[in-house]
Amino acid sequence: MSAHTPTLLLSVDYEDWHQLVRRRVGASNWREAGPALARQTDALLALLDELHARATFFVLGMAARAHPELLAAIVAAGHEIGCHGDAHLPVHSQTPEEFTADLRAARATIEDLTGRTPVGYRAPAFSITASSEDWAYRVLAQEGFAYDASRHDSPALRDRAVPATAAPHRLNHAGDAAADAAGDAPGAGLWEFPVAVWRTGRMGGIRIPVGGASYWQGLPTPVILRGLSEAGPLAGLYLHPNELDPEPLRALLPADATPTQRAHAKLREAQRNGARRRAPRVLKAIAQRFELIPYGEAHARLDGSA
């Protein structure tokens, strides 16, 4: 990589697809450890090693507790450990007190299993919305987080909190000038690292989300590469372990599952298997064109120079 190679931030929302899909369809066994996260983790770590790329793993507390043996290899490979919350419930559906408790539960699990204290946060399904961002960022700052990576200006997200700029920036919610000056405005000091979105068309009116592997299945690789090159500096990428699964995803519902639950699970399987087929190839193409680094490394560079 030359000094002029553009840089993107690479992340993994580290969660157990089986827990999430089973809960979504209402299956009785959803809390159990799924059968695939270990092989997905192996595939993911092997691919990142092959690409000489390090990433931030935003770890979901409940997935880590179901698979306490899996985090050690991630840490040993030199990846950053971030926080994806504990129960994977939308931030906007929680009270500030519930959100605080969710962050603390996740952090306690992560510290217990890795000895690391995460300073970066990614909301489940980018669920810090315009109507919840003020209190959510205040809670994150109060809980000692240094950066957030939850803003995703995708047209598919309702009531999304639109980033002030595509580049990483400090969050400083206006409102109370005295509080701003004192540095204790909601979220003051917290850095935001937006997900890569290609703003194209007249007046930048068309937004094409190019940062997430779940969107890559519908886009030709040259379009993804062009979009990433125009998404702004240090734009964010995100993957899920299930997108690197070497085997087809099957929800494997329990014997008491209803026909409706089985049909719902089949639909989710089909969606995820589509993304799964493209993700490794697209990531390889991206890694040939861009330097991929963890969020914490970018934060250290920016915060040190601010």
In angstroms, the CA 156 to CA 151 distance is 13
**What are the backbone angles phi and psi of residue 27, rounded to the nearest 5°?**
-75, 145
Residue 160 DSSP label: B
DSSP string spanning 182-248?
HT-STTTT-EE-PBPEEEESGGG-EEEE-SBHHHHTTS-HHHHHHHHHTS-TT-EEEE-GGGG-SS-
CB of 209 to Zn ion, least distance (A): 15
Interface pattern 276-295 for Zn ion (x via CB under 5 A): --------------------
Please identify, using beta-carbon distances, which residue of 88 and 264 lies nearer to Zn ion.
Answer: 88
In angstroms, the CA 242 to CA 146 distance is 28
Please identify, using beta-carbon distances, which residue of 64 and 188 lies nearer to Zn ion.
Answer: 64
CB of 85 to Zn ion, least distance (A): 8
CB of 143 to Zn ion, least distance (A): 19
Please identify, using beta-carbon distances, which residue of 13 and 16 lies nearer to Zn ion.
Answer: 13
Please identify, using beta-carbon distances, which residue of 122 and 138 lies nearer to Zn ion.
Answer: 122
By CB under 5 A, the residues from 172 to 191 that bind Zn ion are none
Please identify, using beta-carbon distances, which residue of 186 and 194 lies nearer to Zn ion.
Answer: 194
Q: Is 16 in the site for Zn ion (CB under 5 A)?
A: no
Instruction: Considering only the stretches 9-17, 27-35, 194-202, 277-285, report the one whose residues sit in contact with Zn ion under the rule CB under 5 A.
Output: 9-17
Please identify, using beta-carbon distances, which residue of 15 and 86 lies nearer to Zn ion.
Answer: 15
Considering only residues 13, 102, 153, 269, which one is a binding residue for Zn ion as defined by CB under 5 A?
Answer: 13
Residue 211 neighbours by CB distance under 10 Å: 27
CB of 229 to Zn ion, least distance (A): 27
**What are the backbone angles phi and psi of residue 62, rounded to the nearest 5°?**
-70, -30
Q: With CB under 5 A as the rule, give the number of residues binding Zn ion.
A: 3
In angstroms, the CA 188 to CA 95 distance is 20
Distance, C-alpha 4 to centroid of its chain: 27
Residue 107 DSSP label: H
In angstroms, the CA 95 to CA 85 distance is 14
Interface pattern 108-127 for Zn ion (x via CB under 5 A): ----------------x---
CA dihedral in degrees (154, 158, 159, 165; nearest 10)? 0
SS3 content of the chain, % helix, strand, coil (to 5): 45, 15, 40
Please identify, using beta-carbon distances, which residue of 58 and 290 lies nearer to Zn ion.
Answer: 58
Please identify, using beta-carbon distances, which residue of 15 and 16 lies nearer to Zn ion.
Answer: 15
Interface pattern 123-162 for Zn ion (x via CB under 5 A): -x--------------------------------------
CB of 58 to Zn ion, least distance (A): 8
CB of 259 to Zn ion, least distance (A): 28
Residues that bind Zn ion (CB under 5 A): 13, 15, 124
